[in-house]
Amino acid sequence: MRGSLTLGKVFGIPIKLHTSWFLVAALVTWSLAGSFFPQAYPGWPALTYWAVGAVTAGLFFASVLLHELGHSLVALREKVPVRNITLFIFGGVAQISSEPTTAAAEFRIAVAGPLTSLALAGLSGLPSLMLAGSPVLAAPLAYAARINLMLAVFNLIPGFPLDGGRVLRAILWGLGGSLRTATRWATRVGHGVAYLFVLLGLGQMFLLGNLLNGLWILFIGWYLKDAAESSYQQAVLRDMLTGVTVRDVMTQGCAAVPVDMRLDRLVADYILNAGQRCFFVTEEGDVVGLVTLHNIRAVPRDRWSQMAIGQIMTPVETPFLAHSDEDVLTLLRRMDEADVNQVPVTEGGNLLGLFTRGNLLRYMQLRSELGV
C-alpha cells in the first residue's frame, strides 16, 4: 500500500488513505448526487443532491473504516499486532502483522467485521425510519443502513481472503489442525469465487450491455484472485521460515572499508580479487553505512575513480540492528515497518554479517530446490 497518506491514529492504529481512494470517493459522490438520489427523491434542488451525496459518501467510508476497526480491535485483544488500516479503491484493509495463533482466534477476528457492519446497519436503519418525514435527513442514514448490510453479506462470501473465507479457513484449521492446509483449501474456494465474479462481470458487459457495472465486478474478481494467491504465498512463507534464525540466512564475513576509499580500488582489491560482495563502511572506527554490488552498479564505470564509498553507501541507523539468533519472521516485520532492505547483524556486540532480502530469496530458492 505504498502511496498512502496517514490521517492519524485510532486506538493506536494508523489510519491511511491510498491515492486510489480519492478516485472512488469522487465516483461514489458523483453517482449518489447525479443518479441515485435524483431517482429516489425527485424534486430536490441540485445543491441538495450534492450535499446529501457528499454526506452519504462520508458515511459509506466511515462504515468501511469501522468494519476494519472491528477486525483490528479483536486482533489486538488476541495479541495479534495491527500495522495499519488503509482505505483504497476496493474498500478497506486492516494490515495484520502475523497470523492468529489458534483457529478460534482467527474465527473471532474474521467475524468481527461483518458483525460490526450488521450493528451499523441497525444503528443507521432505525433513525432513518424515525426521520421518514424529513427525507433530506433520512436519505443518508437509509443508504448507510443498506450499504452496511451489503458489506456484511458480501464479506461473508466464503472466498478467501474475504471474511467469509477466513471463517472457512478457521473452521478447516480447527478440524484439521494445519493452518497451511486450511489456507490451501480456503484459497482454492477463493479462486472459485473470484472466477465467478469475473464471469459475472463479463456477463454484465457483453450480455446485458452494462459496461460500467460489469467492469467493476470484473476488477473485484481479479482483485480477489490476486489477494487469495498472495495470502497463500504468505502462509507458505511463514511455514517455511518458522524456526529459521538470522544466522541461517545472513551473509557472513563482510569486510570493513574506510568511508573515503575510492570505488575503483574497492572493486579491484576486494571484489574482483577477493570475491567480497558486501562491505561495512567505517569512519573513525564506527560503522556508518553499507555497500553492496547493488550500490556499485548504480554508478557509471568511468566515475569509479572519482567516487568515494561514502557517496554511494546506504547509511546505517545504529539502533536498527539484527541479532544473529533473532527469528527471521520477526526481523522481516521490523524491516517492513522501517522500510529497509538490509540490516547489519551483531553477536556479542560485534558485527557478524549482513542480512538482506536477497539473502532470504536465495535461501528460500535453495530449500525449494532441495524439497525441504
Please give the positions annotated as active site: 68
Report how far residue 37's alpha carbon sits from residue 31's, in angstroms, rounded to the nearest whole number.
Answer: 9
Cell triple for 338: 522501517
Is the CB of residue 353 less than 8 Å from the CB of residue 345?
yes
Of 92, 98, 84, whose CA–CA distance to 68 is shortest? 92
Cα 288 from chain centroid (whole Å): 31
Side chain identity at residue 358, one-letter code: G
Of 199, 262, 257, whose CA–CA distance to 225 is shortest? 199
Q: Grid cell 536477497 — which residue?
A: 358
Is the CB of residue 281 less than 8 Å from the CB of residue 291?
yes
Backbone phi and psi for residue 346, each to the nearest 5 degrees, phi listed first: -120, 160
DSSP for 227-264 reads HHHHHHHHHHHHHHHTT-BHHHHSEE-PEEEETT-BHH
Of 286, 290, 284, whose CA–CA distance to 255 is shortest? 290
SS3 325: coil
Q: What is the signed CA dihedral for 274, 280, 281, 285, rounded to 10 degrees?
A: -110
